[in-house]
Structure 1
Amino acid sequence: MFQRSRMSLAVAFTLTGITGLPLSPAQAAEQPATLEALNVTAVRGATKTETPVMETPQTVNVINNEEWQERGAESVQRAANYTPGVGANQVGSSNRYDYLILRGFSDGSINNTYLDGLRVMNDGGSFSSFAIDPWYLERIEIVKGPTSVLYGQSSPGGIVALTSKKPEFQAGGEVRATLGNNAQRGFAFDFTGPVDDDRRVAYRLTGKMSAADAQQDHVEEERRVIAPSLTWDMTDYTSLTLLAYLQQDPKGGYHGGLPYEGTVESRNGKKIDNTFFEGEPEYDEFDRDMAMAGYDFEHEFSQAWTARQKFRYLESEVSVQQVYQAGWGSGDELLRSIPGQTYNTTGYSASEEELEAFTVDNQLEGTVVTGLLEHRVLVGLDYQKRENEVKATYGEFPSIDAFDPVYGADPLILVGPFNDLRELEQTGVYLQDQMVIGNWHISLGGRQDWVNIKNTSLDYGTVQELDENQFTGRAGLLYKFDNGVAPYLSYSTSFSPSAYLDENGELLNPSTGEQIETGLKYQPVGTGNLYTLSVFRINQKDLATKVPNETFYRAIGEIQSQGMELEAKAQLTENLDVQAGYAYTDVTFEKAEAYREGNQASQTPEHQLTMWTGYSFDQGILDGARAGFGVRHMRDIQANDANTRKVPNYTLVDMALSYNLARQGLPGVTARLNVNNLLDKEYIASCYNSLNYCYYGAERDVKASVSYKF
């Protein structure tokens, strides 16, 4: 029977198990400083149902709130730093968007995000892509491989499934203040509790204000977030949760790249400083306002059948202008225009955008028994619609000396604005059957999508339109031994629309992907320790490829990603826990332009090794203290798709110290110090296919915070 518990459980997370005991807020505050987080045994991202990780025939990496809080991550992108097979450093120190490369697929890496099961309606062909602040989130699930069978269009590398904090029926809250280098300052709060005496209605109010100077000169970051929510248990069988999220980013920080020569290699015996700003202060702007509102409705008809509806409306306004570099001119001057071009130049771009979207997902979930088979059936119908009006301007600026910059230049030429309307509409019907017979777990799913994409020039009346229908599917098989070992095998497919035009000026048909994955999961009986191994191969076909001497694209490309991922989360002793991960990812162009066919794709490390270990003290004056130490190593990163140059391997060290002051007479108060890139290593995180765009990684980041939980 669907009914929320009226009693809060204090859940002490140790990877040797999970215990739940009713504790008062004061008692909870006196608990030792361990990594407190829910030991998530069930996830929704991969199946849209509460399915244990050990019964999911697919790789799902779960990042809990306490994990990224301990490591000082201030974005979803940084929260994934220690997740194998995830590229969280695609654009270096930039924090404007959440770029997450999954299994080597960099295209669409800012458009694979879902919040509470619904797509965050970004527009990947514009600047209207959003970043959800992790202070608002309970956990992050990285679902690897194609997921179109449940979500429609998506990258074959996988999706990032975010779960927001929800109202609770036990009163409590937290406030946090933060200070750090680069003028970092912030304040955040999170309050929740019942509204009425009967505890049928509960609220939650989450908010954050933060600001900082960016690593680069003349650039700042600023954010304001407020997120109210309300849960109403209408009956013991029916629940409604209303959710809203408002975010303002009046200053969006740095988002530029610099040439390979001058960063990885010297230019005339000199290297560009990692704080250099190649733009113009008076022509640099990123102002993003976004608002989301929606609801989650759930009704249980019986113990066997439950209906859900999720709805979200989103609108945003983005104003951006930026001066870019376009490679070296003579001497030490960086060009901020392309000689001979006066249209669509990379020297300067500006855009005013207004996006409006909504999405809804209707689900019916039930259990059925047929003979020896137990079925968990999920039937769904979802719909999403997006309109984005874009006013874009382009231009050229004078060049700038990269080693002795002088600012204050005005544009040489401006072209535009050009007014476009970008529309997307998608309807999907899906069916999933999760079957159990003895220790066998079988998963089958299929989906039919109808997609309409329409790009209209409001200046000239020209229209590019794509009407496409696509079927995708998934099948998985897992055997769960009684000793905690679970081998599995799965196959899944995906599709992804293209933004490129063919020889007739029409949008190319969507690319399609397929993955075969096999692996092994191991959770020792009676513990929460989890060890996973997966081996996969993904092929994405019909990629947009430009043949030499042609100005248009053809859908003939193919890329293959294959590799292996290992992850271990374990409590080695009562005080010592560790998370370790390794990923080998080989991304190869199977069919492409001559210069890159058979080569490896840029930006993805072939080898990725990470480890984080934490130790909780419980003796003497250190009782209540916790120390964390992490290492991230990336190697064999191609700097361009021609594979003529590489990004140097790099190793980063992170550190975290915290002290729960309950033993010192301050229950609920915790002080924390985070230092990321402890050794202040200067490095290039990645280079995009063009050698004109390499991205400096973040310098040493130091911040101290004090929080109070009640």
Structure 2
Amino acid sequence: MSRPALPFALLLLPLSISLALPTLADTDATADQNSSIELEPTYIEGSLGNALGETEGYRASHSNVATKTSMPLLETSQSVSVVTRKQMDDQGAQSVAQALRYTPGLMSSPYGATGRYDYVAMRGITDGSVDNLYLDGQKLLGDSATYSSLQVDSYFIERIDILKGPSSVLYGRSLPGGLVAMTSKKPGYDSHRQLQLSYGSHDYKQAAFDIGAPLDEGRRVNYRLVGVARDAANQVDDIKSERFALMPSLSIDFTQDTRLTLLAMLQHDPEGGYHGGLPADGTVTSRNGQRISRSFFEGDKDHEKFERHQYMLGYQLEHRFNDVVSARQNFRYLDSRVESEQVYQYGYVANTDDLDRYYTGADETLHAWSVDNQLQFEFATGELSHTLVTGLDYQRRKTKVAYYAAYNLAPINPFTGAEGAGAPVFYHQYDEARFLEQTGLYMQDLISMGNWRLSLGARQDWVDIDFDQTLGAVGDQSDDVRTDQFSGRIGLLYAFDNGLSPYASFSQSFNPNATGAYNETPSGTQITLLDPTEGEQIEVGLKFQRPGTQNLYTIALFDLTQSNLANKDSGETFYRSVGEVSSRGVELEARFKPIEPVNVLASYTWMDVEYSKDFTGAAEANNRGNTPIAVAKNMASLWADYSFTSGPLASLQLGAGARYFGKSWADAENTLRLPSHTLFDASVGYDLSQLGATGVGLRVNLNNLTDESYVAACNSLSQCYYGDERNIMATLTYDF
């Protein structure tokens, strides 16, 4: 199939660099003048300054996730939560998903105790993918319809900004529940070195390091190198996870107006950990008076494999022309290779306690790259102050997959572990090639007049998706969809002088259906791609930050709809874009220090989520009015820590938290409820400098203290997922 010519977004790549070249050419001429100036870490402000603002403990002052430019959280007319590095360290987060456990409005464990991907379901909206993850402002271009979804180690992350609600106006295709924006550790202007060793439950062993320093006396060239090596077993028998990863980066300040940051990540996961499920009968409920153990492995250790190689290369180029105009360009290329095998269960063999088992295998390659070009203008028109951001971005992704299957696998008894008779026959199932290309043109104007803050945004996207399948059971298939999509956003906020900021906003999103639907036609079975899903949200809220503090209290009420979900209409045998989910709710969040040695995080979420338009099969199976899986009406969390600053306990830090997840449904038909569960966590930290070991700190984290046995979620009655059992982790850190 012929490809369209690459869009003119690519032409901006050399253009943006050439714009900076006249400035770079003057570097030598100005070097002598500047060589005697001692540069401070925050000497470059504006577009080249710290767009993320300051963080103190668990609290952040600014974020750029909602506007792509630095904006105080108090003046952002959309719900944004920030997880800082200190919070991740204190709570012992071993993954990005774990780092989000105390964030309102989301569930970060819809697949239970798996650590292979960072699943996040936001505001009751999820498609079972990890398509809402971003790194350094750009989408992680994995393929959610395959196993080639990427993961970034949590040790590489400086902070995580969570933007709630539709966000396509700045980011293009995205899920309407929101997005998770990770910021990687980058070079600073001061030297630092950190070594870290961890050991915990299930023989978890990790060694990590984080070093960085200037490479010249003027601190114009700075580097950072972060690395992780990990080996661990699992609460499930015969399962391991391994990781070896490096993240090098280099920043160059050519002048006070031009900065280039080079970024890379190399990661090899020889073992991907557990990623299976068990039937509801035996986990959620007992089967013949028995429960399946959390350690039971339903697969086959001789055919259990998940080996992932991924690397990323990119840069961030920033240039300020004058006090009015600045430019930014972010570029990333990524490559992923995955080899996987898995034997999995799919319900009981009739009239027995044996689980029927199937096999899937895949060899996958993914190549993708993206570029985001931005121009920012800061100016005034009368009494109105404007920050105008215009952008042109481009994404391109290609995935090739060879799928394998098997039949005649031996069943297994989950209560005794005994296997039945079977002689599996393996075969090459089919090959698939998938291509996605997106070009987006966007504009956003942030307008200030006195205490008023108005944000206006508009975007036009052009998306091309191609799908080719060969050697399949229904013959060779192909389809392509080209979509033109408009997205908009408007927000209004009033910042009272006393720290109160009421706001209201409307936003839209879209996300292409990249998977094929099997349709029965008079000429036979055809695989076609469906229309993109679309999202719309109205949000009103109130934020409060007492002047002179960073304590932030927020309440947000939202009404969100996702339409064009793929489903079968009543009486039909083929898929159409007929489904719709409506999500309404309220989120409350508080991040504050009641007294200086104490940090407190508190949140509560109430959601009413239902299929507002949905048909599945026969009329009696109509799911309209039902609640989707992995959605609880009530969620709450509380975390507090206390640091002793004097006396015999000086340098001791104690933390404790609780996470509540209310009742949810195990299936879309709402025939079986999952009970609610409450999990308790704790941490103890001590700075060994008090004992003469300068720079050495020890922390012990305990999760699920009461060893609550619970099913985190199900995606059907045949696939349910146990949550993490009680685990303990000790971490020794040496900063020097």
TM-score (ref. length: structure 2) = 0.90
Say if 2:112 and 2:711, in contact at 8 Å, map to a contact too: yes
Q: CA deviation at 1:276?
A: 0.5
Which residue of structure 1 lines up, in the alignment, with residue 199 of structure 2? Answer: 179
Which residue of structure 1 lines up, in the alignment, with residue 62 of structure 2? Answer: 42
Amino acid at match of 2:481: L
Which residue of structure 2 lines up, in the alignment, with residue 492 of structure 1? Answer: 507
Q: Which has the higher contact order (CA 8 A, sep 6+)?
A: 1
Instruction: Please state whether the residue corresponding to 1:642 is helix, strand or coil.
Output: coil
Q: CA deviation at 1:595?
A: 3.2
Q: CA deviation at 1:100?
A: 0.3
Q: CA deviation at 1:415?
A: 3.4
Amino acid at match of 2:512: P
- Matched residues in 1 for 2:503 and 2:262: separation? 38
Which residue of structure 2 lines up, in the alignment, with residue 224 of structure 1? Answer: 244
- Out of 523, 545, 557, the residue aligned to residue 579 of structure 2 is 557
- Matched residues in 1 for 2:38 and 2:297: separation? 54
Which residue of structure 2 lines up, in the alignment, with residue 525 of structure 1? Answer: 547
- Out of 721, 729, 735, the residue aligned to residue 695 of structure 1 is 721
Instruction: Please state whether the residue corresponding to 1:525 is helix, strand or coil.
Output: coil
Amino acid at match of 2:485: Q
Which residue of structure 1 lines up, in the alignment, with residue 446 of structure 2? Answer: 434
Q: CA deviation at 1:411?
A: 5.1
- Out of 657, 668, 685, the residue aligned to residue 712 of structure 2 is 685
Instruction: Please state whether the residue corresponding to 2:411 is helix, strand or coil.
Output: strand
Say if 1:485 and 1:521, in contact at 8 Å, map to a contact too: yes
Instruction: Please state whether the residue corresponding to 1:282 is helix, strand or coil.
Output: helix
Say if 1:502 and 1:554, in contact at 8 Å, map to a contact too: no
Aligned pairs for 1:456-605 (under 5 A) are 456-459=468-471, 461-498=476-513, 499-501=515-517, 503=519, 505-593=527-615, 594-605=621-632
Say if 1:286 and 1:318, in contact at 8 Å, map to a contact too: yes
Change (3 A) 1:506 1:331: closer
Q: CA deviation at 1:461?
A: 4.8
Q: CA deviation at 1:430?
A: 0.2
Q: CA deviation at 1:173?
A: 1.8
Q: CA deviation at 1:619?
A: 2.5
The answer to whether residue 180 in structure 2 is matched with residue 160 in structure 1 is yes
Which residue of structure 1 lines up, in the alignment, with residue 14 of structure 2? Answer: none
Once the two structures are superposed, residues 543-590 of structure 1 have per-residue CA deviations (whole angstroms, 9 ceiling, x without a partner) of 111124433211111110110000001101122221100001111001
Q: CA deviation at 1:662?
A: 1.8
- Matched residues in 2 for 1:650 and 1:39: separation? 28
Which residue of structure 1 lines up, in the alignment, with residue 379 of structure 2? Answer: 368
Say if 1:149 and 1:447, in contact at 8 Å, map to a contact too: yes
The alignment covers a number of residue pairs equal to 676
- Matched residues in 2 for 1:202 and 1:561: separation? 46
Give structure 1 stretches of 5+ with no counterpart: 10-19, 22-34, 338-346
Say if 1:653 and 1:679, in contact at 8 Å, map to a contact too: yes
- Matched residues in 2 for 1:547 and 1:148: separation? 28
Which residue of structure 2 lines up, in the alignment, with residue 15 of structure 1? Answer: none
Q: CA deviation at 1:410?
A: 6.5
The answer to whether residue 374 in structure 2 is matched with residue 352 in structure 1 is no
Change (3 A) 1:408 1:246: farther
Which residue of structure 1 lines up, in the alignment, with residue 3 of structure 2? Answer: none
Say if 1:280 and 1:409, in contact at 8 Å, map to a contact too: no
Say if 1:440 and 1:479, in contact at 8 Å, map to a contact too: yes
Which residue of structure 1 lines up, in the alignment, with residue 13 of structure 2? Answer: none
Amino acid at match of 1:380: G
The answer to whether residue 642 in structure 2 is matched with residue 615 in structure 1 is yes
- Matched residues in 1 for 2:600 and 2:556: separation? 20
- Out of 424, 444, 457, the residue aligned to residue 412 of structure 1 is 424
Q: CA deviation at 1:101?
A: 0.4
Q: CA deviation at 1:663?
A: 2.1
Which residue of structure 1 lines up, in the alignment, with residue 4 of structure 2? Answer: none
The answer to whether residue 733 in structure 2 is matched with residue 707 in structure 1 is yes
The answer to whether residue 680 in structure 2 is matched with residue 647 in structure 1 is no
Instruction: Please state whether the residue corresponding to 2:648 is helix, strand or coil.
Output: helix
Say if 1:7 and 1:170, in contact at 8 Å, map to a contact too: no
Once the two structures are superposed, residues 16-73 of structure 1 have per-residue CA deviations (whole angstroms, 9 ceiling, x without a partner) of xxxx99xxxxxxxxxxxxx964842111111111111111100001000110111111
Amino acid at match of 1:86: L
- Out of 281, 285, 292, the residue aligned to residue 265 of structure 1 is 285
Change (3 A) 1:560 1:38: closer
Identical counterparts, % of pairs: 43
The answer to whether residue 141 in structure 2 is matched with residue 138 in structure 1 is no
Change (3 A) 1:409 1:159: farther
Once the two structures are superposed, residues 607-650 of structure 1 have per-residue CA deviations (whole angstroms, 9 ceiling, x without a partner) of 10100010111222210010000000111211111111110110
Change (3 A) 1:36 1:477: closer
Change (3 A) 1:236 1:195: same
Aligned pairs for 1:309-458 (under 5 A) are 309-330=329-350, 333-337=353-357, 347-396=358-407, 397-406=409-418, 412-458=424-470
Give structure 2 stretches of 5+ with no counterpart: 1-22, 24-33, 43-52, 520-525, 616-620
User: Which stretch has the larger CA shift, 454-463 or 208-217?
Assistant: 454-463
Q: CA deviation at 1:200?
A: 1.1
Say if 2:478 and 2:527, in contact at 8 Å, map to a contact too: no
Which residue of structure 2 lines up, in the alignment, with residue 238 of structure 1? Answer: 258
Say if 1:6 and 1:170, in contact at 8 Å, map to a contact too: no
The answer to whether residue 155 in structure 2 is matched with residue 151 in structure 1 is no
Amino acid at match of 1:579: L
Give the RMSD, CA atoms, in angstroms: 1.9
- Out of 683, 689, 692, the residue aligned to residue 656 of structure 1 is 683
The answer to whether residue 697 in structure 2 is matched with residue 670 in structure 1 is yes
Instruction: Please state whether the residue corresponding to 1:68 is helix, strand or coil.
Output: helix
Q: CA deviation at 1:192?
A: 0.7
Instruction: Please state whether the residue corresponding to 2:517 is helix, strand or coil.
Output: coil
- Out of 615, 626, 633, the residue aligned to residue 660 of structure 2 is 633
Which residue of structure 2 lines up, in the alignment, with residue 6 of structure 1? Answer: 39
Change (3 A) 1:419 1:200: same
- Matched residues in 2 for 1:317 and 1:408: separation? 34
TM-score (ref. length: structure 1) = 0.93
Q: CA deviation at 1:502?
A: 6.5
Change (3 A) 1:6 1:709: farther
The answer to whether residue 312 in structure 2 is matched with residue 279 in structure 1 is no
Say if 2:410 and 2:419, in contact at 8 Å, map to a contact too: no
Amino acid at match of 1:192: G
Once the two structures are superposed, residues 320-344 of structure 1 have per-residue CA deviations (whole angstroms, 9 ceiling, x without a partner) of 110110101245533334xxxxxxx
Instruction: Please state whether the residue corresponding to 1:401 is helix, strand or coil.
Output: coil
Q: CA deviation at 1:497?
A: 1.0
Amino acid at match of 2:368: A
- Matched residues in 2 for 1:496 and 1:565: separation? 25
Once the two structures are superposed, residues 356-395 of structure 1 have per-residue CA deviations (whole angstroms, 9 ceiling, x without a partner) of 0000000001112111110100000000100111000122
Which residue of structure 1 lines up, in the alignment, with residue 107 of structure 2? Answer: 87
- Matched residues in 2 for 1:161 and 1:524: separation? 27
- Matched residues in 1 for 2:86 and 2:704: separation? 20
Change (3 A) 1:531 1:457: same
Amino acid at match of 1:477: L
- Matched residues in 2 for 1:69 and 1:404: separation? 40
Say if 1:92 and 1:684, in contact at 8 Å, map to a contact too: yes
